[in-house]
Each structure stands twice: as structure tokens, then as C-alpha cells.
Amino acid sequence: MSAHDVGGNTSLKTSLCTRLGIDLPIIQAPMAGGWTTPALVAAVCNAGGLGMLAAARLSLEQLRDQIDAVRRLTSRPFGVNFLLAPPDAAPTDVSAIQRALDVGRSKLGLMPGSTALQLPPSQTAAQFDLVCETRVPIVGFAMGDPGPWAERAKHGGAFVMAMATTVDDALRLQASGVDAIVAQGSEAGGHRSSLDLPSDAEAPLVGLLALVPQMVDAVQVPVIAAGGIMDGRGVLAALVLGAQAAQLGTRFLLATESGTFDAYRQRLIEAAEIDTVVTRSLTGRAARALRNDVVRTVESAGASVLGWPYQALAAEDVYRAAIANNDAAWAPLLAGQGLRLARKASSAAEIMASLKEELALQLEALNRPA
């Protein structure tokens, strides 16, 4: 890390920043679900950070439109991220879970849930072709080892990153040739980015303070810290631990450009550090989310949660109706633990400006003689 004061302006441009072509060591996490809009991604890029689109749950056409939209809004580098976890075996009986979710359906005015679940064909391979063909400069992966995909993206000139929750998984990603590894601490919102972990096995939950330095010591590629980082103090702490950038998700859910629906945003603004839980009840894989009626109802139903992504598929009509009705009780509200650190919505440019200012203030405080 090189830190110096330029007329009160602090530069924390790490060598990873130089390789990514960004000015600040700040990455806006890709967040599937419609939250990381092209407007958000481009605004973060234009403010000197790295914005990332999330490909998961988009059609090929939607991803193409989003990439085009980002390119209209910024000429800076940006990324696209893929979730790699393969589907679990199809469940044989979904009726008990559907009966539990019917509680939400009756509140939302929906018909009882279908017991015949049909998983749509995966879009990931076609989306990945698109990203390679259109030369998206940064390609990210989570919940799996990209293996040959990393090689192909790199061959096309992309910078490749992937997310890990343990040192062993980080070593595997390094062996697959990724250019950087996101260390996902247990504080992080969203799915636990484990490689090959059966979705009903206990997901490792190592806190960021312990994970980052151990990963930094074990791998040769740059490490990016993710999980609970909401302000300049967190970004600086990540750099002190040896990370070369910080990846922030929950903080950017509050950006006005994010697609976050109002009731979700309001819960994020009001929630405290104890209000999230790591649960399989939303999608079938461990994810950190705010506790709400879906989580409570499914967890207490006494029915086995379906595998990934069948649990999400079973609840799809409930989630869609809840979001359309601005109902935070029955939608998945993925979120990290740093919740008290952001209490209002502001533009992505304002978030980036305050992160930069806080970083400068923290550095100044550290340098001040006792």
C-alpha cells in the first residue's frame, strides 16, 4: 500500500488498483436480485471504484442490456460476476415446504404453491460467452471454482477474481489461475461463497479479521476483503490486514441508484448488527440475511429446507409478489452485519466521497503524534 498526502487528499492506490484501472481500493459487490443496477455500477466506476454487475438470475438478453447500459454510462473498467454452485439433486417432495410458504401466499393474496417444480435451464454458459465476446474487463466468480472458465476469461484479456471463505479454498482458486481472491468474512451479506460444500453441510464462518491476514500469508495473488465493511475505517482496516481492496455490498444496497425496494432499504436503515442470521431457508444454501417472516416461518415449519436452488424456486412467486408489494416480510433481505454504520440512503457518488474522506481522516488520526 502506498499512502501519501497530496494537499490533504489521501491516495491509497494499491498495486491491485493499478491493475484494475481504478483510483480507490473500493469494489461495489455484485448483488444478484436486481439490486446492482447499471446506474449503480457506472456511478461507482465514475467515482474511481470498481462497479460489478451480477449475472445470476438475469436472462442473457437482460445481461446484454445491462452491459450495454453500463458502457453508455461510463468508459471506466467494470465487472460481471457469476454464481457457480450447481443445483442440488431435485427434491422428491416439496409439499411440506409449500404449505409453510402458503402462510405468506395467503397474506399476499396468492394461490397455494405448486408442488411440481421445474428448474429452468442454466443461463451461465451463454452469459459467460457473452462476457468474453464483449470483452468485459473484469470477471468475477462466487460459490465455486471457475477452473477452465478463469483460463478462458484471462485468455481474452479479462482480470479474473473469485470469492473464498477459507484459506484452503483460496489456495484452490489460486491454483485455478485467478488473478485475485475475495476473502469473504462471516460478517458478509449474501451467500457463503464455499467451493464444493454440500449445501446442507455447515458453512465455515471465519470472521474477516482472522481470515484476511491468514489468506494474505497463504496466497501470492492479491486479496480483497469483504464482509461488514461499511465505512472508511473498515476499508483502511482491510488494507492494514494486507488486503489490497475492500468489497462492500450492504453499504451499496442503500445507494439511491440501487434497485433495492423501499421496504428493504428501510429495514437496512433501521436494523442492528444482531438482526441478521445465516440461513438456508431462503434459497437452500447458507446465506446471511435479515430475519423476517420468510426465514422464521420456513425455519420453524419442521419441514426440511429444499436444496439449492429449489428452495428459492419454490418460493419464487412469494418473493416476486412481496417485492412488487413493497413487503419486506416475505422477500429475501440479504444483508451483512455492519448495519448500524449506514443510516440513510445517498447517491453512490456521495457514498464514494464519504468513504474517501473517512479514509483520509483515519489515516490522519493514525499519523497524528500522541
Contact positions toward ligand FMN, by CB under 6 A? 29-33, 35, 54, 56, 81, 83, 140, 142, 163, 184, 187-190, 226-229, 247-250, 334-336, 338
Residue (163 or 255) nearer to ligand FMN, CB: 163
Residue (33 or 104) nearer to ligand FMN, CB: 33
Q: Report, in Å, the least distance between residue 36 CB and ligand FMN.
A: 8
Residue (98 or 337) nearer to ligand FMN, CB: 337
* Residue-wise DSSP of 227-246: SS--SHHHHHHHHHTT-SEE
Q: Report, in Å, the least distance between residue 272 CB and ligand FMN.
A: 14
Q: Report, in Å, the least distance between residue 96 CB and ligand FMN.
A: 27
Q: Report, in Å, the least distance between residue 93 CB and ligand FMN.
A: 29
Q: How far apart are CA 367 and CA 130, in angstroms?
A: 47
Residue (162 or 363) nearer to ligand FMN, CB: 162
What are φ and ψ of residue 113, in 5° steps? -70, 150
Residue (22 or 94) nearer to ligand FMN, CB: 22
Q: Name the grid cell of 31.
A: 448483488
Q: Report, in Å, the least distance between residue 358 CB and ligand FMN.
A: 15
Q: Report, in Å, the least distance between residue 56 CB and ligand FMN.
A: 5
Residue (216 or 290) nearer to ligand FMN, CB: 290
Q: Report, in Å, the least distance between residue 247 CB and ligand FMN.
A: 6
Q: Is the peptide bond before 213 cis (omega within 30 degrees of 0)?
A: no
Q: Report, in Å, the least distance between residue 215 CB and ligand FMN.
A: 14
Q: How far apart are CA 163 and CA 165, in angstroms?
A: 7
Q: How many CA atoms lie within 13 A of 93 on its CB side?
A: 5
Residue (10 or 81) nearer to ligand FMN, CB: 81
Residue (99 or 233) nearer to ligand FMN, CB: 233
Residue (83 or 363) nearer to ligand FMN, CB: 83
Q: How far apart are CA 296 and CA 98, in angstroms?
A: 14
At 74, the amino acid letter reads T
Q: How far apart are CA 204 and CA 165, in angstroms?
A: 7
Residue (146 or 227) nearer to ligand FMN, CB: 227
Query: According to DSSP H, which parts of 197-347 are helical?
Result: 208-218, 232-240, 250-253, 262-270, 293-299, 310-314, 316-324
Buried residues in 194-232 as b, exposed as e (16+ CB within 10 A): bbebebeeebbebebeebbbbbbeebebbbbbbbbbbbb
Q: Report, in Å, the least distance between residue 190 CB and ligand FMN.
A: 3
Q: Name the grid cell of 328.
A: 419486506
- Beta strand 190-191 with 223-226: parallel, antiparallel or unpaired? unpaired
Q: How far apart are CA 313 and CA 61, in angstroms?
A: 21
Q: Report, in Å, the least distance between residue 127 CB and ligand FMN.
A: 12
Q: Distance of alpha carbon 153 from its chain centroid, rounded?
A: 20
Q: How far apart are CA 244 and CA 16, in angstroms?
A: 6
